[in-house]
Structure 1
Amino acid sequence: MTNHALRDSTERDAPCAGLRIGDQAPDFSARSTTGDIRLSDFRGRWLVLFSHPADFTPVCTTEFVALARAAEEFERRDCALMALSVDSLFSHFAWLRMIRDRFGVEVRFPIIEDPTLVIAQAYGMVAPQDNDSATVRTIFFIDPQGAIRAMSCYPANVGRSTPEMIRTLDALQAVDDGRGLAPANWQPGESLLRQPSASLDDVFAAEGQADWFLQQSGEGAGR
């Protein structure tokens, strides 16, 4: 099999091969717990679109409690939250009522119903031939222009980290002007890295061996 044929086969079969960072997020309209919703209505602000395998599951319940409690943190960053699962709208309602009564928190961000997996398949959350949502646990960070800026996938038995979702959003917003880079473990208020020079003169003139490509910018983003 040629490399080209292997690549084509892999891209057809891999669940998350459909979309890449920088792609425009596919538009859709659907019913949700906050009414009929269209993705493009969220243009002009950041959006975190995330999926979960099913309502009334233990890991997903802890995630939604954590995200509902952190909703103001996302709102403070001008970022909306939107969830997606295969369950029906009324299953979502019953689950949210249970969460409120059991944990004392109201989930007010929209949860979309996707019983036919049309949206999940369009986003590559599941492969086109899949008929269940076992692999649907993906996060898409979408910028105000509707472009996908980051993605992450988790297995069904490991919960997502809400602080890491917020940190990723902070980092994306901090480097949004293209001038800086967020280093490993970056936190708001810390310095960014400079974009490396593309000039050989700068490479030879740098004082240290790594100074031409590894320097702090002195700029950070505070919250």
Structure 2
Amino acid sequence: MKHTTPHGVTVTAKSEHSKGVNGALEAKFFHAKSGVSIDKAKLNPDGSMGLEASRRDIAKNVKLVAKVNDVLKGEVSMEHTVGKSSTRATLDVEGNWMRTSTCMAVGSSLLVGAQGDFIVGAPKDSALKSYSVGAATGGSRWGASLTCTNAMQTYNASGFYILQPNLVGSVMAVTTPEKSETSFEAGVRYQCNPKTTVRAKVNSNGLVQACAVNRCADKVAVTVTAAAAKNDTTPKFGLLCALG
């Protein structure tokens, strides 16, 4: 359930029922005069709390983001955007690790990026822990991307194609050559009408999943899900109603 107060505070209450009750309470707020945004203030059922806040334009084209929990663990990020390129640096509040990433557009249809994770400490202890690179391209009816993660040990490829204005097909594959492991997932999305969407997907493990979402009224959406596995063909069903 989601509600926005006249002062611009959005409060979201979530509840899950699976052999018990679980949920969370979230709120977000933007203060226009200061430019500070509380992107998420979260209260969990166990009493733990989390806070995500950001402020744009602390300097020209620079955004500051902070995430912290109630035991003062979290991270601080700074993002700099110029033209078609963006660079972000993230440091955990204890100063143990740092992540840097950069992304830029090349031409009109190619996007390339890279990310590196560093262990931060004394000069002799600091080291590059992992890195990844990626590229994405596409046209008016299709898109494709390739990323290499875990220091070039794992390759992820994905793509989609718009078969019809209301029908989209997609595929994703992950391979680790050193371990001879490959997995894939393929899916479709069909827009039955402006209020109803059907999605279905199957993966290499034989798991088949499908869902139908119907916006039956203003700010009310009902979702029905079904799933069956290769080793258990008995369908499992689910029902979700979202307000807001």
- TM class by shorter-chain length? under 0.3
The structure, 1 or 2, with the larger RCO (C-alpha pairs under 8 Å, 6+ apart) is: 1
- Structure number with higher helix proportion: 1
Q: TM-score, normalised by structure 2?
A: 0.25
Q: TM-score, normalised by structure 1?
A: 0.27
